[in-house]
Structure 1
Amino acid sequence: MAFRVYLSGEIHTDWRKQIIDGCKAANLDIQFSSAVTNHAASDAAGDCLSEESNGFWRDHKSAKVNAIRTKTLIEKSDVAIIRFGEQYKQWNAAFDAGYCAALGKPYITLHDEALIHPLKEVDGSAQAWATKPEQVVEVLTYLLSDQLN
């Protein structure tokens, strides 16, 4: 069984690479997709539509262009992994979790214990909560195991 996994959230650490590498090492048949992780490219996604002198409108246009990618990839995924880091507030990740919940799309949250309280509603709708990328790999390994039948 092949899975399509969407990776959402924090872009300042290598958690995506850890999960992808762990899944490759376990020979899992997974196709990964992700939110835009190039911050400058994400911020400039709407610049082709027109120049903006006001930062609000530039961000607004770029968010809408980025949402095309995000919504499409979440809808096509079998499961989403949603990472919340310590350094920044990932409002986009919280939105992605809400979108998954609204679609009935399973998702796994990935964050430290320090964020349990602020993410209680997000975790409450998640199918699993992990604190390390290795745990996510273990869950995916279980889900794709041919020994469950």
Structure 2
Amino acid sequence: MSFTVYLSGEIHTDWRDQIIQGAAARGLAVRFTSAVTDHDASDAAGDGLGAESVPFWRDHKSAKVNAIRTKTLIEQADLVVVRFGDKYKQWNAAFDAGFCAALNKPYITLHAEDIVHPLKEVDAAALAWAQTTEQVVEILAYVLRD
């Protein structure tokens, strides 16, 4: 059995690498996908469509170009991991979780205990809440068991 896992959420720590390395160390048959994690590149995704003098419209175009990748990869995933960090509010991650819920796509939230309350609705639709990347790897190992 193999899975495609989409890694959604904050881009300021190495949590994606930790999960990828943990899965590889366990020999798990997992293909990982993700949004573009280069913040500047993501912000500039729509710049090729023409310059904008109003920041809203630059963000709007870039969000739509980024959504081509995000929507496609979430739809193709067997499972999504949605990471909420403590440095910034990850509205995009909350949106991805909602998209998963709308698609009936299984997802795991990954975040610290101190933000359980603001994420209660997001967690309520998740199939698991993990606090560490090791817990995510454990879940993957379990669901991929022969």
Q: TM-score range by the shorter chain?
A: over 0.9
Q: Deviations over 1:17-57 (max 9, x none)?
A: 00000000000000000011000000000000011111110
- What corresponds to 1:25 in structure 2? 25
Separation in 2, partners of 1:4, 1:111: 21
- Tell me the percent identity: 71
- Partner Cα separation in structure 2 for residue 55 and residue 40 of structure 1: 14
Secondary structure (helix, strand or coil) at the match of 2:57 reads: helix
Counterpart position of 1:120: 120
Measure the CA separation in 1 of the matches of 2:18 and 2:52: 38
Could you list the structure 1 runs, at least 4 aligned residues long, displaced by more than 4 angstroms after superposition.
none
* Alpha-carbon offset, residue 16 of structure 1: 0.2
1:77-132 deviations in Å (ceiling 9; x for gaps): 00000000000000000000000000000000000000100000000000000000
- Residue equivalent to 2:143: 143
Q: How many residue pairs are counted as aligned between the two chains?
A: 146
TM-score (norm 2): 0.99
TM-score if structure 1 supplies the norm length?
0.97
Structure 2 alignment gaps of length 5 or more = none
Q: Which amino acid aligns with 2:141?
A: T
CA distance in 2, matches of 1:101, 1:63: 20
Q: Report the residue type matching 1:125 in the other structure.
A: A
Following the alignment from structure 1 to structure 2, what is the Cα–Cα distance between the partners of residues 59 and 66?
10
What aligned pairs does 1:73-88 form with structure 2 within 5 A after superposition?
73-88=73-88
- Please list every run of 5 or more consecutive structure 1 residues that lacks an aligned counterpart in the other structure: none
| Residue number in structure 1 paired with 2:68 | 68
Q: In structure 2, what is the equivalent of residue 94 of structure 1?
A: 94
Structure 1 segment 2-17 matched on structure 2, within 5 A: 2-17=2-17
| CA–CA distance in structure 2, aligned partners of residues 52 and 103 of structure 1 | 33
2:29, 2:144 → 1: CA distance? 8
